[in-house]
Chain A
Amino acid sequence: MNSICLKVLPATVWILLASLVAAPAVCQAQRSSEPVIVIRASRVITGTGETLAPGEVVIDDGKISLVGNQLEVPENAQVIDARGQTLMAGMILASTKHGLQRLSRNGTNCDFTPMSQLIDEEMPWQDFLEAGFVAVALVPSGSGFPGRTVVVSTDPDNSDRILKDGAYLPVNGGSLYSTFSRSFDAARGEIEKVKKAREKWDKEQEEAKKKAEEEAKKDDGEKKDDEKKEPPKEFKPPAMNPSLVPLVKILEEKEDALPIMYSARTPGLVLHLDEAISQVKELKDRDPITLFQLPGASNGAFHEVVDLLGEREATVVMPPRLSALPDTYVRFSLPAALSRAGCKLVSIPINDDAASMRALPRMVAELVRFGVSEEDAIASVTLQAAKLLGIEDRMGTVEAGKEPHFVLFDSDPLVPGARVMKTIIGGKVVWDREDR
């Protein structure tokens, strides 16, 4: 509620309001054992459309309780002084393999998760934190359906790091048609298997019932009590192949079905994807796939599918880099064009390494140069990524009620040369440039 009010009211009213609201905050703090944490920054980019300068964020009981400026702070509060710095929501990396043990599997392995490739002690969490990422989506490698993406927290001290087990199902590789037809045929086979077992079971039950009735007619009275005692059997469906269960869920349109994320290396594959999907009869009339990763984003020929992707309001995960129109020197920003066309942008680094990840804010700034609004540019590494991964109710903006994950830059994050000064996860400074 508070943050909604904050949007509307001018700064002068703020002080009054803050004094009113800060009081209960103090009371709460006294009740709970942990002290209230207050982060003071020169600027707070909330991600909800406003920038507070200066700004404070109050963290109470592991949640953001208040965002405002010139708030009164209780005496026992722990203050993180970040004056001269800009605070924004912790960045979220929507797709990475950085630090994972190499293991690639081809084929349909939807039950596979990259957690088996992750050795916690050997993970370069510092690389993520230095770049300002508080959550990363780990992607399994391999062609076909290599597994599901898992979102983890980058907090090095937290062993319970899985934020979401299963955010999307990546599909990649060249043989699109056979991947889709083979995998979904197999999934359909699993559904049929369960159906047949069910029919068989129903038949058996009916026969058993008849038998029981006949027996009951033959000798009634005697065994009545025993029959009543027998508990009604439950139908036990045969176990499905676990690597196909996520696809079965897609076919059956289950609530918890994971969306499919397609990596299109060339623009033509976007058309081929629709053709390949329409081969699967259950998926033929569904809404088209809207999650795309464009690893070949420097291919200028992608400008041909901008409208196609824009029409379906696709979410596009790609490095925000420049390309040239085919056979010209005409510079072309594909992400900016996609954004104009109505796509939702999610920015990822060019490569899975520390240097590329550190360079991401600078590359996102390029987006602004080519016409994307500052708000959308920042959202492409925070809120849109959170929405893609289904964790937007927990992070992605600086709002009351969300988890206190932040990144602090030494200047505006979109100014070239901006450096990450602090990364805060759960109200705790987990990475600080001054400690280095």
Chain B
Amino acid sequence: MIQITKRSLAMALMVTIFVTDIPFSSGLSIQIAGVSEAQDPPRRRRRGGRRPAPPPATPEPEKKEAEPAHAEDAEYLAIVGATIHTVTGPVIRDGTILCKDGKISSIGADISVPASAEKIEASGFHVYPGLVAFRSAGLIGSGDPQKTQDPFSLGTVMGLAAGITSTWNGSTVGKLVRGSLEDLTLRKASFVNLTYTSRNPGGKRELRQALEKVQEHLRALERHAEEKKENPDAKAPDDKWIRGAFSTAKLLLTGERVALSRVSTITDLKQVCELARRFGFDLVIEGGEEAWIDPGLVARTGASVVLTPRARRNAVEDRNMKSGSSIENAKILHEHGIPLAIRPSASGIALWGLAGRDLGHLPMEAAFAVRGGLSEKAAIEAITIEPARILGVADRVGSIEVGKDADFIITDGDLLSYLTHVRWAVINGKIQYDKMKEGLLDHIRPDGVEKPEPPDDHWPRRLGDPL
């Protein structure tokens, strides 16, 4: 609950920062989070109508350094002349990003680049924050990537080619760093997997009872804390029974963990949301194909949704209620202010593309939501900053901001276009992927030509034709 406040306030704060040009400092955000602790935790992440502020019509230069003092020994990388999509701020045309020692040190139109900097001339290219894949397999190893990632594996290269720079492998959020094992762990993130479905009524009851019992215990603890002020010898309530499912329930109720529930029907969705509202824990819904039917409920619950716009669910015709998946799902949820992340239906990545439904096509999945009415801006947020927020790493990745990690991709066009490829991917201020240097995609539109002429002896050609 505290986290929610921190996020939403930090978001509001970020908007302010961009306008007022106050240097962003983590100390500031912590302070504000500390203040918010005393307040009653709000139930909703975004109140109605409080959408991210639209970018100013004329992008102002972000930073004007009077005396740019560049350190001699620092490692610089400069992306010059690109269109910068900061995601949390304005779009800057013909701008420059300067990275120093793996962090973004300045963004804007007039930025002096130190002579020692590695330079990428990127006019005509677009810069987006590195995509954050909510869930993946085979991109950064399993478990602790610091110990399991193969930084030379093809999966990592393919992930970078798809624009993904950070991902959650089920236990840790890490970066797709190549060729080294440095700075690749962002955060250990584990959710409580919540299965609460009418298909398993027994399990439902057990879970509910466990939550009730732990809630009772937490109240007893609060009472005990009060009592202790008057009577220092007050006996603390017994907590030896808090093991197994009870300790998981406690993690949920104290807000230490967030619940992640794989839900697709509206019936299950309603039940999970009711449970989350009754016990007041944080909820992330994965799937949510029928969430468009009652978006208000999801919004009131304060849940985030990780959805797959192309996932299909057939309507049940014999019931007198709405059912089935909708192409407009993402749009409707976004309109209700529900934080939205997008993931493809497969969490792996494959050379042959898994029919365009693997992580190699994460922007395509987002583009499909745009087809259903979601704004392009929201679709890009749903594969960058929103999954970063859900995974708790938005302080480091997910948008292009001064002070954040220098993780971004440079594409040869609009991210959501089917023609666009990632030209360079940068992680920690180092170029990790260069399309023209990998055998993977270098032969596809190498000069950015959209439709190469077919060769002279192209089809149709019959036997006996001169070659």
Chain A residues at the B interface, C-beta cutoff of 8 Å = 176-177, 266-269, 271-272, 275, 301-302, 304-305, 325-328, 330
Closest A residue, CB atoms, query B351: A327
| Docked complex Cα distance between A271 and B179 (Å) | 9
| Contact status B439-A268, CB under 8 Å | no
Closest A residue, CB atoms, query B179: A304
Other A-B contacts than A275-B146, A301-B152, 14 sampled, CB-CB below 8 A, are A176-B147, A268-B149, A268-B150, A269-B150, A271-B181, A272-B181, A275-B181, A301-B150, A302-B152, A304-B152, A305-B152, A325-B439, A327-B154, A327-B440
**Given A177-B147, A268-B150: A326 touches B180 (CB 8 Å cut-off):** no
**B151 interface hit (Cβ, 8 Å):** yes
Residue from A176, A266, A327, A330 within 8 A of B152 (CB atoms): A266
Nearest first, the 4 closest Cβ-Cβ pairs linking A and B are: A268-B150, A328-B439, A267-B152, A304-B152
**B390 interface hit (Cβ, 8 Å):** no
Residue from B146, B149, B154 within 8 A of A301 (CB atoms): B154
Kindly provide the distance from the CB of A126 to the nearest chain B CB, expressed in whole angstroms. Answer: 40
Residue from B151, B154, B439, B440 within 8 A of A271 (CB atoms): B151
Closest A residue, CB atoms, query B151: A268
Residue from B149, B151, B439 within 8 A of A327 (CB atoms): B439
| Docked complex Cα distance between A266 and B138 (Å) | 14
Kindly provide the distance from the CB of B172 to the nearest chain A CB, expressed in whole angstroms. Answer: 15
Q: Given the complex, which residues of B lie within 8 Å of A326, measured CB to CB? A: 154, 157, 439
| Contact status B154-A268, CB under 8 Å | no
**B153 interface hit (Cβ, 8 Å):** yes
| Contact status B440-A272, CB under 8 Å | no
| Contact status A268-B440, CB under 8 Å | no
Q: Given the complex, which residues of B lie within 8 Å of A304, measured CB to CB? A: 152, 179
Contact with A along B434-446 (1 / 0, CB 8 A): 0000111000000
| Docked complex Cα distance between A302 and B180 (Å) | 14
Q: Secondary structure of the B side of the interface?
A: loop
**Given A326-B439, A327-B439, A327-B440: A268 touches B152 (CB 8 Å cut-off):** yes
Closest A residue, CB atoms, query B157: A326
| B179-196 contacts to A (CB < 8 Å) | 179-181
| Docked complex Cα distance between A342 and B149 (Å) | 27
Q: Given the complex, which residues of A lie within 8 Å of B351, measured CB to CB? A: 327
Kindly provide the distance from the CB of B162 to the nearest chain A CB, expressed in whole angstroms. Answer: 14
Q: Given the complex, which residues of B lie within 8 Å of A266, measured CB to CB? A: 150, 152-153
Q: Given the complex, which residues of A lie within 8 Å of B438, measured CB to CB? A: 327
Q: Given the complex, which residues of B lie within 8 Å of A269, measured CB to CB? A: 150
Most buried by B among A269, A302, A325, A327: A327
30 contacts between A and B (CB under 8 A): A266-B150, A266-B152, A267-B150, A267-B152, A268-B149, A268-B150, A268-B151, A268-B152, A269-B150, A272-B147, A272-B181, A275-B147, A275-B181, A301-B150, A301-B152, A301-B153, A302-B152, A304-B152, A304-B179, A305-B152, A325-B439, A326-B154, A326-B157, A326-B439, A327-B154, A327-B157, A327-B351, A327-B438, A327-B440, A330-B439
Closest B residue, CB atoms, query A301: B152
Q: Given the complex, which residues of B lie within 8 Å of A328, measured CB to CB? A: 439
Q: Given the complex, which residues of A lie within 8 Å of B153, measured CB to CB? A: 266, 268, 301
Contact with A along B112-154 (1 / 0, CB 8 A): 0000000000000000000000000000000000110111111
Q: Given the complex, which residues of A lie within 8 Å of B149, measured CB to CB? A: 268
Q: Given the complex, which residues of A lie within 8 Å of B157, measured CB to CB? A: 326-327
Closest A residue, CB atoms, query B146: A275
| Docked complex Cα distance between A275 and B149 (Å) | 12
Q: Given the complex, which residues of B lie within 8 Å of A330, measured CB to CB? A: 439
| Docked complex Cα distance between A327 and B438 (Å) | 9
Kindly provide the distance from the CB of A295 to the nearest chain B CB, expressed in whole angstroms. Answer: 15
| Docked complex Cα distance between A177 and B147 (Å) | 7
Q: Given the complex, which residues of B lie within 8 Å of A327, measured CB to CB? A: 154, 157, 351, 438-440
Kindly provide the distance from the CB of A360 to the nearest chain B CB, expressed in whole angstroms. Answer: 28
| Docked complex Cα distance between A164 and B40 (Å) | 75
Q: Given the complex, which residues of B lie within 8 Å of A305, measured CB to CB? A: 152
| Docked complex Cα distance between A305 and B152 (Å) | 9
Q: Given the complex, which residues of B lie within 8 Å of A302, measured CB to CB? A: 152
Q: Given the complex, which residues of A lie within 8 Å of B439, measured CB to CB? A: 325-328, 330
| Docked complex Cα distance between A148 and B354 (Å) | 45
| Docked complex Cα distance between A335 and B150 (Å) | 21
| Docked complex Cα distance between A305 and B150 (Å) | 12
Kindly provide the distance from the CB of A142 to the nearest chain B CB, expressed in whole angstroms. Answer: 21
| Docked complex Cα distance between A302 and B179 (Å) | 11
Q: Given the complex, which residues of A lie within 8 Å of B146, measured CB to CB? A: 275
| Docked complex Cα distance between A109 and B55 (Å) | 65
| Docked complex Cα distance between A215 and B68 (Å) | 84
Q: Given the complex, which residues of A lie within 8 Å of B179, measured CB to CB? A: 304
| Docked complex Cα distance between A184 and B371 (Å) | 58
| Docked complex Cα distance between A327 and B179 (Å) | 17
| Docked complex Cα distance between A267 and B181 (Å) | 12
Closest B residue, CB atoms, query A175: B147
| B340-373 contacts to A (CB < 8 Å) | 351
Residue from A177, A267, A271 within 8 A of B180 (CB atoms): A271
Kindly provide the distance from the CB of A298 to the nearest chain B CB, expressed in whole angstroms. Answer: 14
| Docked complex Cα distance between A304 and B151 (Å) | 10
| Docked complex Cα distance between A275 and B154 (Å) | 22
| Docked complex Cα distance between A325 and B438 (Å) | 10
Q: Given the complex, which residues of B lie within 8 Å of A272, measured CB to CB? A: 147, 181
Kindly provide the distance from the CB of A294 to the nearest chain B CB, expressed in whole angstroms. Answer: 13
Most buried by A among B147, B149, B151, B152: B152
| Docked complex Cα distance between A295 and B195 (Å) | 43
Q: Given the complex, which residues of A lie within 8 Å of B154, measured CB to CB? A: 301, 326-327
Closest B residue, CB atoms, query A274: B181
Kindly provide the distance from the CB of A334 to the nearest chain B CB, expressed in whole angstroms. Answer: 13
Kindly provide the distance from the CB of A4 to the nearest chain B CB, expressed in whole angstroms. Answer: 45
Closest B residue, CB atoms, query A330: B439
Contact with A along B44-56 (1 / 0, CB 8 A): 0000000000000
| Docked complex Cα distance between A275 and B180 (Å) | 11
Most buried by B among A268, A269, A275: A268
| Docked complex Cα distance between A268 and B155 (Å) | 12
Q: Given the complex, which residues of A lie within 8 Å of B150, measured CB to CB? A: 266-269, 301
| Docked complex Cα distance between A271 and B180 (Å) | 7
Kindly provide the distance from the CB of A355 to the nearest chain B CB, expressed in whole angstroms. Answer: 31
| B154-190 contacts to A (CB < 8 Å) | 154, 157, 179-181
Q: Given the complex, which residues of A lie within 8 Å of B180, measured CB to CB? A: 271
| Docked complex Cα distance between A328 and B179 (Å) | 19
Kindly provide the distance from the CB of A234 to the nearest chain B CB, expressed in whole angstroms. Answer: 45
Closest B residue, CB atoms, query A178: B147
| Docked complex Cα distance between A275 and B146 (Å) | 9
Most buried by B among A275, A304, A326: A326
Q: Given the complex, which residues of B lie within 8 Å of A268, measured CB to CB? A: 149-153
Kindly provide the distance from the CB of A150 to the nearest chain B CB, expressed in whole angstroms. Answer: 32
| Docked complex Cα distance between A301 and B439 (Å) | 12
Kindly provide the distance from the CB of B17 to the nearest chain A CB, expressed in whole angstroms. Answer: 38
Closest B residue, CB atoms, query A276: B147
Kindly provide the distance from the CB of A327 to the nearest chain B CB, expressed in whole angstroms. Answer: 5
Closest A residue, CB atoms, query B440: A327
Q: Given the complex, which residues of B lie within 8 Å of A176, measured CB to CB? A: 147
| Docked complex Cα distance between A226 and B346 (Å) | 87
Q: Given the complex, which residues of B lie within 8 Å of A267, measured CB to CB? A: 150, 152
Kindly provide the distance from the CB of A311 to the nearest chain B CB, expressed in whole angstroms. Answer: 14
Q: Given the complex, which residues of B lie within 8 Å of A301, measured CB to CB? A: 150, 152-154
Q: Given the complex, which residues of A lie within 8 Å of B152, measured CB to CB? A: 266-268, 301-302, 304-305
| Docked complex Cα distance between A330 and B439 (Å) | 9
Q: Given the complex, which residues of A lie within 8 Å of B147, measured CB to CB? A: 176-177, 272, 275
Closest A residue, CB atoms, query B441: A327
